[in-house]
A and B are shown apart, each in its own frame.
Chain A
Amino acid sequence: MNLSRRHFLVLLPAAAIGYEYALAGTPATAPNYNKSDHWWGMLIDIPKCIGCGNCVRACQTENNVPEGFFRTWVERYHVDDWHLERPEVISPDGGKEGFPVVEADADKYFFVPKMCNHCSDSPCTQVCPVGATFITPDGVVLVDQTYCLGCAYCVQACPYGCRYIHPEKKVADKCTLCYHRITKGLTTACVENCPTGARQLVDLKDPKDPIHEFLKTHNVQVLKPQMATGAKAFYNGMDGSVR
C-alpha cells in the first residue's frame, strides 16, 4: 500500500475517530438492574405526615449529610383564615428533631416534606457548564462529584432549593433518591423510615406500581408546576398555600 503524505494526513483523523469509538465499547450494566426499565419518582402524602423528622435523620445517616445541610427536610405550614396566600412556614433544623408543640388551635397546620423533585426537565442539569450533573436513564438527578467544579450555578437554578455546596468537598451535593439503595432493590432511607407511610418511592415505568391508580384517583400536585420542570415528587392533598 502506497500512501502519499497528503492521503495519510487526510485518513489520520478518521482513524482517530474510529479508535475512540472502539475504546468506548459496550456499556457495562449492573447485574439484575436495567436502567431503562425504571423511571423513579416520589409520592408524598401530606395528610399522613406527622412531622416527626424520621426521614430527615435517616437521610443524614444514610448519606453522611453534613450538619446544618439537608437533602430532605420538613416544613410546617401554619395558615390562618385571613392569610391564605401568606402562610407562616417553619422548619427548625430541617424538622430533624420534630416541631414545637401547638396547643389546641383553630388555625390550619400541616407538614410538607421537601426534597429533590428529580425533575425530568430539570433546570439544574441544564445550567451545569461541565456536565457534572445529569438525569440518569432511570430518572434520577445525580451529581458527579469528581467532575463538579463547585460553581454553584445549579444551586441557584434549582427552583426548590434542594441543592447545596458541600462544606468540605466544595462541590454540589443533593438527594440521590438513594440511588445506591434503589438499584439494589431497597427503597430510599426516608421511605424506609417514615413511620406513617407518608412517603412512597414510585416507579412510573412499572405498570404494577400502585402510583398509577393513585394518580388517577387522588388530587395530586407537583411543586411550582408553572416552572415546567417535569417534577416527579408528587404531593397528595397539598394545600394551595404551599410554595
Chain B
Amino acid sequence: MKLSKDSGHLFRFLGLFVIAFLIFLVVRHFVVPKSFGEYGHYRGAAIDEIAALPVKFAGHQTCEACHSDIADTKNGGKHAHVNCEACHGALADHASDPASVIPMLPDTTVLCARCHTASAAKPAGFPQVKIDEHSGGLPCKTCHNPHTPVIGSDKASGAVLGAKTAGGTK
C-alpha cells in the first residue's frame, strides 16, 4: 500500500493520541477508586462502609435474650407491640457491656405522657388521658405497671398497685 509522501505527520499525530490515551489510563488508574463501577456509577465500597457503621439501638431481640421475664410480661399485655428501647432509649452499649453501662430508669411522668396525653389530633381509638385530671401529677407507675399497663393485669407480681383513678377517657 503506497501512502502519500506527506503522510508522516498523520502518524506522528496518531502517536501523540496514543500517548495521551495511555497517560489518561495511568491517571485514571490512580484517581478512580478500585470499587468504582462495581455495581454502577459509584464507589461500590461505600455500601460496605455505610453498612459497617455502629448500631446504637440493640433491638428488642437482643434485650429479650437476657430480660425474658420482662419480655413475657410485656408481650402478654397491652404494650406487646412497644419495643424495649422505645421507652428505655438506645442501649446497644449496655447489651455489649451489661456490667458497666447501667441504663437509667425512665421517668414515667414524662414518658407515658408523650404518647398518652389526650389530644383531638390523635386517632380516636388510641388510649389517651388528660394527665392533670387523671393522675394529679403522680408518676404513672404509682398505679400502672408500664410493661403491662392495664391495672390488675400484672399477674406476675400479683400487685394491684392502686385504685382506678377518675378522669380517664379510655
Nearest-neighbour CB distance to chain B for A124, whole angstroms, equals: 13
Decide: A111 near B121, CB < 8 A? Known: A144-B42, A194-B86: yes
Q: Provide the bound-state CA to CA distance between A179 and B47, in Å.
A: 9
In the bound complex, residues from chain B placing their C-beta under 8 Å from that of A136 are 39, 47
- Interface flag for B82 (CB, 8 Å): yes
Decide: B48 and A28 in contact? CB cutoff 8 A.
yes
Decide: A9 and B18 in contact? CB cutoff 8 A.
yes
Majority DSSP secondary structure for residues of B touching A: loop
Interface residues in B66-87 (C-beta closer than 8 Å to A): 79, 81-83, 85-86
In the bound complex, residues from chain A placing their C-beta under 8 Å from that of B57 are 58, 61-62, 181, 186, 189, 192-193
In the bound complex, residues from chain B placing their C-beta under 8 Å from that of A98 are 114, 117
Q: Which of B36, B50, B90, B117 contacts A61 (CB under 8 A)?
A: B90
- Interface flag for B164 (CB, 8 Å): no
Decide: B47 and A197 in contact? CB cutoff 8 A.
no
Residue pairs across A and B with CB atoms within 8 Å: the count is 153
Decide: A101 near B43, CB < 8 A? Known: A142-B50, A196-B126: no
Please tell me the number of chain A residues within 8 Å of chain B, measured between CB atoms: 64
- Interface flag for B137 (CB, 8 Å): no
Q: Provide the bound-state CA to CA distance between A19 and B57, in Å.
A: 44
Scoring A residues 59 to 98 as 1 if CB is less than 8 Å from chain B, else 0, what string do you get?
Answer: 0011000000000000010100000000000000000001
Decide: B34 and A23 in contact? CB cutoff 8 A.
yes
Decide: B22 and A13 in contact? CB cutoff 8 A.
yes
- Interface flag for A51 (CB, 8 Å): yes
Decide: A193 and B86 in contact? CB cutoff 8 A.
yes
Decide: B22 and A54 in contact? CB cutoff 8 A.
no
Decide: B36 and A179 in contact? CB cutoff 8 A.
no
Interface residues in B103-146 (C-beta closer than 8 Å to A): 114-115, 117-123, 126
Nearest-neighbour CB distance to chain A for B95, whole angstroms, equals: 12
- Interface flag for A167 (CB, 8 Å): no
Decide: B55 and A186 in contact? CB cutoff 8 A.
yes
In the bound complex, residues from chain A placing their C-beta under 8 Å from that of B47 are 35, 136, 142, 179
Would you give 30 A-B contacts (Cβ < 8 Å), ordered by A? Answer: A16-B22, A16-B25, A24-B34, A24-B37, A27-B35, A35-B47, A52-B115, A54-B114, A58-B57, A62-B55, A62-B56, A99-B121, A101-B118, A102-B119, A103-B120, A132-B42, A134-B41, A134-B42, A136-B39, A142-B46, A146-B43, A147-B46, A180-B51, A180-B55, A181-B57, A183-B51, A192-B59, A192-B85, A193-B86, A195-B82
